[in-house]
Structure 1
Amino acid sequence: MDFAFCRADAGYRGLKPMSDTSRMTTLHGKNIFFIGLLLAASGIVSPPVALAVGILFGFTVEHPFPAESSSLAKLLLQLSVIALGFGMNLKQVIHAGRSGFLYTAISITAAMAVGLLFGKVFRVAGKSSFLITAGTAICGGSAIAAIAPINNASEEEISVSMGTVFLLNSVALLIFPAIGHGLHLSQNQFGLWAALAIHDTSSVVGAAAKYGNQALAIGTTVKLARALWIVPVSLLTAAFMARHRSTSETTQGSVKIKIPWFILFFCLAAAVNTYLPQFVSAYGILSHLGRTGLTATLFLIGTSLSKRTLQQVGIRPFLQGVALWILVAGISLFVIDRGYISI
């Protein structure tokens, strides 16, 4: 009788009753989602693996919590960026970046301009194009994580951008040491090249560590100095977004700049780590939480990508990222090998 009532009620409301198979599928989807999230937040898996697991989930399982996952990903993304600031020492970063400041400014500006041009050539949507360009020009996933909330990128756009960057990171981790040895690059040369041409700091550390201790020291400090450019690029992005909104609005009134407060807290965290060293053990914990939080965020972002969204996006963003990366890596290697820049 109850089942008949449910069927009648469902028919009255124009709804179909949920079958036992649908309930089991939903339950399995929830269990898999929570297991994947806990695994990503545990620190056991690396960020690329977490993103890959999330994408696999999105391709094979219907997302049980799409709205909640989206909200959590945005909040966790910003908190993770702030926590990562406790792992940066401003004195070391500024010292390493002082000699190459001019080249860094020119290279980032040129990479941003060329990347956006490639985005137009490959007809990549504006936000995805900008995220891939910023990730390649500055510091990969960290730049994407910082800028995405500012330009209101969707989870699909973030996922495609992150996926492109992390795939190229994996390739660089494998082939860069072999190229360095083949060209007989010195420890300093390879460390500098890795910092300029590999997207993420973690992959720079991995590739440079394979090459030697001196390459590791140079690569890490130069990459951290380059990472500071997240701040001005984020602020310029916020100003541009505000200007774009003001020109598109039909009603009169002032338009406020959406200040990326989490970027300012990121800088504050780095300053605290530098000038209050007595709490270094706590900073290490916070920095580790930032890395694990970013890993969990990547899983959440990956779950938003499905066959449907991938078909909508296509292969063009990946081609844009590959073309820009090859250009940046090639030019950086040429100027370093010729001795035009050194450290």
Structure 2
Amino acid sequence: MSVLPITANDLPNGLTSVTSGSKSPALASIWAGIVPGIVLVAMITSVAYSARSLSGFALFSPMILAVVAGMIYSNVLGTPAHAKAGIAFSQRRLLRLAIVLLGFQLTLGQVAGIGLSGVGIVAATLGATFLFTVTLGRLIGVDAKLAQLIAAGTSICGASAIVATNIVTDARDEDVTYAVAAITLFGTVAMLGFPLLAPLLGLDQHAFGLWAGASIHEVAQVIGAGFQNGALAGETATIAKLTRVAMLAPMVIALGLMARRGRADASAAKPPMPWFVGAFVGVVALNSLISIPAQVHSAIALAAQVMLTMGLAAMGLQADISQLRSRGLRPLMLALSAFVFIAAFSLTLVELV
């Protein structure tokens, strides 16, 4: 009985390298590309969190500090080629997972807590601000994708909304970085300025909380401004803000439909609803139905923030400062106009209601 020799071609895929005692090409690619990139992103993220302990940096969220740190690193030292795969992984996969985890911060009961009029104010403010920003951007000559990012960041939930919207709009990394920086700037102004305006405007705690939650950009900024005027104001502001976060899903779906309709091959285009949007809605529903321990909630919230920060650090690593300069002042003026509009529009509705 003769035995036929077995060659490498006779082995299943991936086993050739195992028999030879070496790693498979796929595993080697992971270790050579993804891991170094994630390590670099994690280092930038650590710098961002550490910088918050320094005097003058406590007002900024780790996300914006991570963007800045990533930009400084890439534009001064350069981004290593072998780290690009891991940076891309952080920018895409980690960000989408973080957005899903944001759903654990919201329940349907919390939305009901601000009442039908409160939900109406939040929804009307969101829609009007988005349309105003996109329209003004078109009139003053701001790139349509950048205008959409600024509109989403202003009207919904800051950096998180910009990241989620960009998955549909597919803008350049420099546009995302510009939008995050502009939104963070004016959100910080609102966080510091709105509590000072409350006595002048004659707003009680409920009204102020509703105004802050409906108009200030980032969740952390809303909490910071709301609780400066009392516990009731802080709680109302947080619920109103999380209601805006819940509206991230329908907004992304709407933008996806618009993008699909604008393509010549719309019939062959992918479904406009990214997987993470459906997962976000599912997590909100799950969080509304079951009781999750407070410690688990805190751990999930921290994980979501860290992953968002890592994703934005990755964007900073791929941002070119010269490209940012080329955008000029028009996008900044658009972000300022959007900030003024959302503050005035939401305040008007709060006063009327």
What TM-score comes out, normalization by structure 2 length? 0.79
Task: Name the residue aligned to 1:197.
Answer: 215
2-structure distance, mates of 1:332, 1:177: 15
Task: Determine what percentage of the aligned residue pairs are the same residue.
Answer: 27
Larger deviation: 72-81 or 267-276?
267-276
- Is it true that 1:121 corresponds to 2:139 in the alignment? yes
Q: Greater RCO between the two (CA within 8 Å, min separation 6)? A: 1
Give the paired residue count. Answer: 307
Large movers: runs of 4+ above 4 Å: 29-34, 40-45
Cα gap change, 1:96 to 1:31, in 2 (>3 Å): closer
Matches within 5 A, 1:21-170: 35-40=43-48, 46-64=62-80, 65-66=83-84, 68-96=86-114, 98-170=116-188
Cα gap change, 1:238 to 1:32, in 2 (>3 Å): closer
- In structure 2, which of residues 293, 310, 331 is the aligned counterpart of residue 317 of structure 1? 331
- Is it true that 1:283 corresponds to 2:297 in the alignment? yes
CA contact (8 A) 1:188 1:214 kept: yes
CA contact (8 A) 2:252 2:273 kept: no
Q: CA deviation at 1:63?
A: 1.9
CA contact (8 A) 2:114 2:240 kept: yes
Q: CA deviation at 1:121?
A: 2.5
Q: CA deviation at 1:96?
A: 2.2
2-structure distance, mates of 1:71, 1:313: 27
Unaligned runs of 5+ in 1: 1-28
1-structure distance, mates of 2:77, 2:213: 38
Cα gap change, 1:34 to 1:84, in 2 (>3 Å): closer
CA contact (8 A) 1:77 1:293 kept: yes
1-structure distance, mates of 2:50, 2:303: 10
CA contact (8 A) 1:169 1:198 kept: yes
2-structure distance, mates of 1:269, 1:42: 31
- Is it true that 1:174 corresponds to 2:186 in the alignment? no
Q: What letter is aligned with 2:352?
A: Y
Larger deviation: 278-287 or 316-325?
278-287
1-structure distance, mates of 2:168, 2:268: 19
Query: C-alpha deviations, 1:63-97, integer Å up to 9, x for none?
Result: 22445423421111101101121222221123325
Q: What letter is aligned with 1:176?
A: F
What TM-score comes out, normalization by structure 1 length? 0.81
Larger deviation: 175-184 or 43-52?
43-52
Unaligned runs of 5+ in 2: 1-36, 53-60
2-structure distance, mates of 1:282, 1:214: 25
Name the Cα RMSD after superposition. 2.6
Query: C-alpha deviations, 1:280-339, integer Å up to 9, x for none?
Result: 533332222011111121212122223221123222211111011112212322443xx3
Q: What letter is aligned with 1:317?
A: P
CA contact (8 A) 2:149 2:179 kept: yes
- In structure 2, which of residues 250, 254, 279 is the aligned counterpart of residue 232 of structure 1? 250
Query: C-alpha deviations, 1:188-237, integer Å up to 9, x for none?
Result: 12111111220111100001111111110110111111221111111111
CA contact (8 A) 1:173 1:203 kept: yes
Q: What letter is aligned with 2:70?
A: G
2-structure distance, mates of 1:100, 1:253: 39
The DSSP-based 3-state class of the residue aligned with 2:352 is coil
Q: CA deviation at 1:149?
A: 0.9
Cα gap change, 1:39 to 1:90, in 2 (>3 Å): farther
- Is it true that 1:255 corresponds to 2:269 in the alignment? yes
